[in-house]
């Protein structure tokens, strides 16, 4: 008997539709490499990233997020009026306040939806999923659909001369509609974790209450992403195998039982290289970062959307979502994918 068989019918929720949006402008890695004074193949050879997308001037996180949300609602056959909750994960909000989710609510016209942001960096989608599940369960069916969105406009926060970040990050958004589903399908327990002692491994140091914006912070590039590449690489190499192991142990299954593992995509080449350490066949890993780069909170749901649209998942499949990112944060959940 699996966790899904033990869930009462009224607590079953699943992803009913996925969507994504990428800005029109696409920047190839050859262009990034040349701007850094490197050989044309330097970025792709080390990261597997061929392209990334960059938001147009004036295009904010909420614009990308709303487009992805519409795509997910269309896939689910729903309207904005059907949504009772919008949870949005991002590290690059429209502004420090109000929440970008409120901006998205207004753009969509989802007037009846509560809306708030989750600040869990690249794990934001998994944290947002947990928030949505708790809210849906408390509604007892009164508002049965929630939108969970991940979005980043990292291009506004990059030092173009820093090869450790300029080579990796891109802009994009992805979303999922969470709604009721019959047995035996559904999203399993969500496991979350954090290690605040390593908050300095990757961050945007200036612009908040600790280091407010000033002429000095601008001159010091304090409003750009600062990352300890070696520390972050070690964290990724440790975390993906650990999350697969934990999820399988909790569910009483083996890695071979997983139809698909959808991880955060910080560096496609590195993530793909971890399949063996995680006890997986490479075909079990959904790698989708080659043409978008690291899009943070949008990374995992974007890969999930690509998996859905390319037929990588089907009814009854066990799909593991595995997120990890700045904070440090991490989380996973196992889904018994619903039938079409």
Q: Where are the domains of the chain?
A: 12-184, 187-337
Percent of the residues in the chain that have a pLDDT greater than 70, as a whole number:
96
Antiparallel, parallel or unpaired: β 85-89 and 146-153? parallel
Whats the size of the chain, residue-wise?
Answer: 340
Q: Which CATH architecture has domain 12-184?
A: 3-Layer(aba) Sandwich (3.40)
Average of per-residue pLDDT across 60-79 = 98
Task: Look at residue 216 in the predicted model and tell me its pLDDT.
Answer: 94
In this structure, of 7-11, 30-34, 132-136, 247-251, the range with the lowest mean pLDDT score is: 7-11
Q: Give the Cβ contact number of residue 69 at 10 Å.
A: 32
User: Phi and psi at residue 325, in whole multiples of 5°?
Assistant: -175, -165
pLDDT at residue 3 tops 50: no
With H, G, I as helix, E, B as strand and everything else as coil, classify residue 133.
Answer: helix
- Are the C-beta atoms of 317 and 337 separated by less than 8 Å? yes
Task: Look at residue 141 in the predicted model and tell me its pLDDT.
Answer: 65
- The mean predicted confidence, pLDDT, of the chain is 94
Q: Who has greater pLDDT, 259 or 183?
A: 259
Query: Which sequence positions are flagged as catalytic?
Result: 122, 264, 294
Average of per-residue pLDDT across 15-24 = 98
Compute, in degrees rounded to 10, the torsion defined by CA atoms 153, 147, 243, 291. -40
User: Phi and psi at residue 135, in whole multiples of 5°?
Assistant: -65, -45
pLDDT at residue 9 tops 50: no
pLDDT at residue 162 tops 80: yes
DSSP single-letter state for residue 85? E
pLDDT band with cut points at 50, 70 and 90 for residue 152: very high
Task: Look at residue 163 in the predicted model and tell me its pLDDT.
Answer: 92
Task: Tell me, yes or no, if the two domains 12-184 and 187-337 fold the same way.
Answer: yes
Q: Which fold has domain 187-337?
A: Peroxisomal Thiolase; Chain A, domain 1 (3.40.47)
Angle at 237 between CA 235 and CA 238, to 5 degrees: 65
In this structure, of 5-14, 33-42, 67-76, 223-232, the range with the lowest mean pLDDT score is: 5-14
Task: Look at residue 10 in the predicted model and tell me its pLDDT.
Answer: 52
């Amino acid at each position: 008997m699996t966790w899904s068989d033990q869930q009462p019918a009224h607590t079953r929720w699943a992803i009913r539709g996925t969507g994504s949006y990428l800005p029109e402008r696409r920047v190839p890695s050859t262009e990034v490499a040349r701007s850094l004074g490197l050989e044309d193949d330097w970025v792709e050879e080390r990261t597997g990233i061929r392209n990334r997308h960059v938001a147009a001037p004036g295009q904010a996180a909420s614009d990308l997020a709303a487009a992805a949300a519409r795509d997910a609602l269309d896939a689910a056959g729903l309207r904005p009026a059907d949504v009772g909750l919008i949870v949005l994960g991002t590290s690059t909000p429209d502004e420090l306040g109000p929440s970008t989710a409120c901006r998205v609510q207004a753009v969509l016209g989802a007037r009846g939806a509560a809306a708030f942001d989750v600040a869990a960096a690249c794990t934001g989608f998994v944290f947002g999923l947990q928030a949505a599940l708790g809210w849906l369960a408390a509604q007892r069916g009164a508002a049965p659909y929630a939108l969970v969105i991940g979005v980043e406009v990292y291009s506004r926060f990059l030092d173009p001369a820093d090869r450790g970040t300029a080579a990796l990050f891109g802009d994009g958004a992805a979303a999922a509609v969470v709604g009721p589903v019959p047995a035996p399908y559904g999203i399993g327990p969500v496991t979350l974790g954090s290690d605040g002692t390593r908050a300095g491994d990757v961050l945007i140091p200036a612009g908040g209450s600790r280091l407010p914006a000033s002429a000095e912070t601008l001159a010091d590039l304090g409003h750009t992403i600062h990352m300890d590449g070696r520390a972050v690489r070690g964290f990724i190499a440790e975390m993906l195998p650990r999350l697969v192991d934990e999820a399988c142990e909790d569910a009483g299954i083996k890695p071979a039982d997983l139809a698909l593992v959808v991880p955060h995509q910080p560096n496609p080449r590195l993530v793909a290289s971890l399949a063996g350490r995680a006890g997986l066949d490479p075909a079990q890993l959904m790698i989708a970062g080659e043409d978008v780069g690291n899009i943070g909170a949008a990374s995992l749901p974007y890969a999930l959307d690509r998996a859905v649209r390319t037929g990588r998942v089907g009814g009854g499949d066990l799909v593991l979502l595995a997120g990890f990112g700045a904070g440090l944060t991490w989380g996973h959940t196992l889904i018994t994918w619903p039938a079409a």
